[in-house]
Amino acid sequence: MLAEPSTRTARVTQPTAYLDAAPHGTPVATAAATESATAIVYCEANFGAVDGKTANGLVRHSEKYEILSVIDSEKAGLDTGMVLDGTPNAIPVCRDLTAALALAGQVPDFFIYGMAPASGLLSPRERALLLEAMELGMNIVNGLHEFLNDDPQFAAASAACNVTILDVRKPRALKGLRTFSGRIAEVSCPRIAVLGTDCAIGKRTTATILTQALNDGGVKAVMIGTGQTGLIQGARYGIALDAVPSQFCAGELEATIIEAFEAERPDVIIIEGQGALSHPAYSTSSFILRGSCPDAVVLQHAPGRTQRCDFAAMAMPTPAREINLIETFADTKVIGLTINHENMTDTEIDAAIVRYEGELGIPVTDALTRSPADLVAMVRAAFPGFGGMPTADAA
């Protein structure tokens, strides 16, 4: 099983509008956009794996792009849905760019770099491939910490080829960054953060499914993206938090949430988590708790994962330990646990749900293998009667 599965919507064939989230979260029209933006996603040797989480998410859920194929020579010829879920979705894996273009029968609008390597940088081979895609007339979507618009070679290629580079992680200019103001108290609807016990564990997935389930049930929910993948997928409000200077992280998130609240007037706001509060390699969870001041937290955990992702010598924390840390660090309450079922059978998922409900005394579910109504019921139990919240049966 992949480390961070996402929702199952594979294509958007008739989007009502094409928007690219600005660095600070306000949506702006993209000059290179069309009503049906097609894309090839590059994920060499990583599709279905942890570092391929951007590609993994895009083939299951994208509000902005029609994904034509994924490039990964190690899985060429397979269906991406079969690789991720065992269910075909008609989006193929191709060996290379030549094969992907031949299959598409046209030059797609976008070439998306679909990986999140720990280095955050392109390899020399990847640089050459992106430049080739630009020469063919494809716009680039880049979620790395390496901003290609600031690279003289890529800037020149962008101008010469008349294509756009979207550096998704690039924050606003330093002079425009905002510090925490306390205005988050003006956001009167419940704010729920989806945090985790590790990175790449499914926080975005659960946040996306929960948001959709609430909206499907008549409760207006808005999701705040906090990472590059959610922004690439089409989160209307969000910020790549790990690219913002620490002094401004809480304030930028607070301001983005306020923008969403004032523009949308939702019944509930769902905030995507990053990393883990207990993980020494990440500080983003602390800024999410500070900037959003969530009324509640849903915690994501992978019972089949024994060591931290990318840290083989670091054992996973227990949910109870993470919950205690979260509730000690912030004035909030963990209202439920969701399970990432990697390396687990369905029977083992059932057993984990029973076990953790008994141990923790909170609702437990798996956002992908169990009904989304369970997530709605989890929220409803914590906030009974607000905003016309439907019952689990009605969701």
pLDDT digits (tens, 9 = 90+) for 242-253: 999 999 999 999
Q: With contact defined as beta carbons under 8 Å apart, do 337 and 360 qualify?
A: yes
Give the confidence band of 36 by pLDDT, cuts at 50, 70, 90: low
Q: What top-level class would CATH report for the domain 19-167?
A: alpha beta
Q: Is the pLDDT confidence value at 2 over 50?
A: no
Tokens of 26: 């306000």
Q: What is the pLDDT of residue 302?
A: 97
Over the stretch 53-63, which tens digit does the pLDDT of each residue have?
899 999 988 98
CA distance 331 to 328: 7
3-class SS of residue 43: coil
User: Within 203-281, where are the H helices?
Assistant: 203-216, 228-233, 246-264
Tokens of 245: 């200077």
The pLDDT of 89-115, averaged and rounded, is: 97
Q: Rounded to a whole number, what is the largest CA-CA distance in the chain? A: 62
Q: What is the pLDDT of residue 292?
A: 98
Helix axes 124-135, 97-104, angle to 10 degrees: 30
The pLDDT of 117-135, averaged and rounded, is: 92
Smallest CA-to-CA distance from 301 within 274, 288, 319, 282 is with 319
Instruction: Measure CA 124 to chain center.
Output: 27
b/e for 78-87, b at 16 or more Cβ within 10 A? bbbbebbbee
CA distance 225 to 198: 17
**Least confident span in 7-11, 284-288, 360-364, 387-391:** 7-11
Over the stretch 297-335, which tens digit does the pLDDT of each residue have?
999 999 999 999 889 999 999 999 999 999 999 999 999
Sign of CA dihedral 150, 151, 155, 161: negative
pTM of this prediction?
0.84
Which regions of the chain carry the CATH code 3.40.50.300?
176-388
Q: With contact defined as beta carbons under 8 Å apart, do 26 and 259 qualify?
A: yes
Q: Is the pLDDT confidence value at 359 over 90?
A: yes
**Least confident span in 118-122, 276-280, 352-356, 364-368:** 118-122
CA distance 16 to 210: 22
If one compares 121 and 319, the residue with the highest pLDDT of the two is 319
Share of the chain above pLDDT 90, in %: 81
CA distance 372 to 319: 21
Name the DSSP class of 189.
Answer: S
CA trace torsion 315, 321, 323, 329 (10° rounding)? -100
CATH number of 176-388: 3.40.50.300
Q: What is the pLDDT of residue 173?
A: 87
Q: With contact defined as beta carbons under 8 Å apart, do 139 and 33 qualify?
A: no
CA trace torsion 38, 42, 46, 52 (10° rounding)? -60
In angstroms, the Cα distances linking 50 to 7, 153, 198, 260, 263 are 16, 30, 12, 30, 34
Q: Is the pLDDT confidence value at 30 over 60?
A: no
Give the confidence band of 172 by pLDDT, cuts at 50, 70, 90: confident
Segment holding 170, helix H or strand E:
none
Segment holding 268, helix H or strand E:
strand 268-272
Pair type for strands 191-196 and 296-301: parallel
Q: With contact defined as beta carbons under 8 Å apart, do 53 and 200 qualify?
A: yes
Tokens of 276: 């883990």
Could you give the count of Cα atoms lying within 13 Å of 269 in the half-sphere of its Cβ?
29
Which regions of the chain carry the CATH code 3.40.50.720?
19-167
Q: What is the mean pLDDT of the chain?
A: 89
Q: Given the structure tokens 């900037």, which residue do they identify?
A: 291
Could you give the count of Cα atoms lying within 13 Å of 234 in the half-sphere of its Cβ?
23
